[in-house]
Amino acid sequence: MNFWQKIDKPVIGLSPMDGVTDASFRFITARHGGPDVTFTEFVNVETAFFAPHTLIRDLAYSEIERPVVAQIYGHTPELFYQVAHIVCELGFDGLDINMGCPAKKVAANGSGAALILNPELARSIIRTAGQGIKHWREGQTLCDLKINPELIETIRISNRLRSGLEIPPRRRLIPVSVKTRLGYDHIVVEEWIQTLLEEKPSVISLHGRTLKQMYKGNADWEAIARAVKMAENSGTLILGNGDLQNMQDVYRRVRETNVDGVLLGRSAQGNPWIFRTKEQVKQALRSKGAVSIPHVSISLEERFRVIL
């Protein structure tokens, strides 16, 4: 059983955001809010080979963040295979593949949300990343892959600094998930989600906009609800994302769509405390009664502690 299955539903996690959810941001959010799961900023798989120190910096995390998922992106399946080994060696709880970034610099080379236009490549990437995790668990090493010895040593040092131990991570299967959008320039949620489901990812996190929309307009939660319906009995969880400003929004969207969980992004910026009432939301959803999500009052002293 992977960690996704152990979290009480709905999952209420911190969404990955490029340029935002770095190690410091995630540490503060975990310490003062406590989301069910955190994701790193996305990291280009090519970074492992042309800028290994950047890779290690961007994949730094603290034990307090667990479960913590490494998000990676790119368009070359073979590199996903190798970076999956690195993610496992760093002790992450899961690996997430970004197929939703709308940034021009990412989509222009066929990565991020551009993979929606190339479903066979998207499937190959998911499959290859999973194979990398499987082979790592079976004993394949970074030396076997001829990974740069300097990078291997940096990984060892990173693990020691984080945990205080020299013991390498336990070899286990970690879950593969995908974060994506409703489509490229128009909604194709039925076709696209069906494509992803064929590779059996543990989770699909779905932002309720297309690449063309970027972050304009309203997130389409009706389309997310259709994805939830498609994934019933598949073993894949569907998490919704987009325009969730507070826990009242979380409660409403989960009730309306039956999503297995949500990821909060922009609403967590400057507000790590937003996650403090997640358990009340879960209790309210279980009771199916009238909901009253308490307002979290944050003292000036605590706000200063976060700043410091």
Q: What is the rounded average pLDDT of the residues 183-188?
A: 97
Q: What is the mean pLDDT of the chain?
A: 93
Count of the separate structural domains present in the chain? 1
Q: Is the pLDDT of residue 28 over 70?
A: yes
CATH at residue 7:
3.20.20.70
Beta bridge partners of 237: 203
Which of 83, 87, 107, 81 has the alpha carbon at shortest distance from 40? 87
pLDDT-above-70 percentage for the chain: 94
d(CA 223, CA 124): 25
Q: Look at residue 106 in the predicted model and tell me its pLDDT.
A: 96
Q: Can you list the positions of beta strands (E) in the chain?
A: 11-14, 38-39, 43-44, 68-73, 94-99, 176-181, 203-207, 237-241, 261-264
The per-residue pLDDT for 236 is 98
Q: What is the pLDDT of residue 167?
A: 79
Instruction: Say which range, 42-46, 94-98, 103-107, 298-302, has the weakest mean pLDDT.
Output: 298-302
What would the mean pLDDT of 136-155 be, rounded to a whole number?
A: 95
Could you tell me the pLDDT band of residue 279, with boundaries at 50, 70 and 90?
very high
Q: What pLDDT score was predicted for residue 300?
A: 47
pLDDT, position 51: 86
pLDDT (0 to 100) of residue 304: 47
Residues 6+ away with beta carbon under 8 Å from 168: 89, 156, 159
Give the position of tokens 């492992």.
Answer: 48
pLDDT, residue 289, reads 63
pLDDT tens digits, 47-88: 888 888 888 999 999 999 999 999 999 999 999 999 999 999
Looking at residue 292, its pLDDT comes to 62
User: Which residue range is the domain that position 274 belongs to?
Assistant: 3-307
The pLDDT > 90 percentage for the chain reads 86
- Over residues 195-202, the mean pLDDT reads 98
pLDDT category, 297, cuts 50, 70, 90? Answer: low
Separation of first and last alpha carbons in the chain: 39
CB 236 within 8 A of CB 197: yes
Residue with tokens 């959803």: 285
**Across 84-93, 132-141, 250-259, 299-308, least confident range:** 299-308
The one-letter code for the residue type at 107 is: A
* Residue 183 confidence (pLDDT): 97
Q: Is 34 a residue whose pLDDT tops 90?
A: yes
DSSP state string for 151-203? HHHHHHHHHHHHHS--PPPP-----EEEEEESBSSSB-HHHHHHHHHTT--SE
Q: Is 207 or 296 the better-scoring residue by pLDDT?
A: 207
Within a 10 A sphere around the Cβ of 300, how many other Cβ atoms? 7
Beta-carbon contacts of residue 102 (< 8 Å; ≥ 6 apart): 112, 113, 181, 211, 212, 213, 214, 215
What was the pLDDT predicted at 293?
A: 63
Average pLDDT value for residue range 185-208: 98
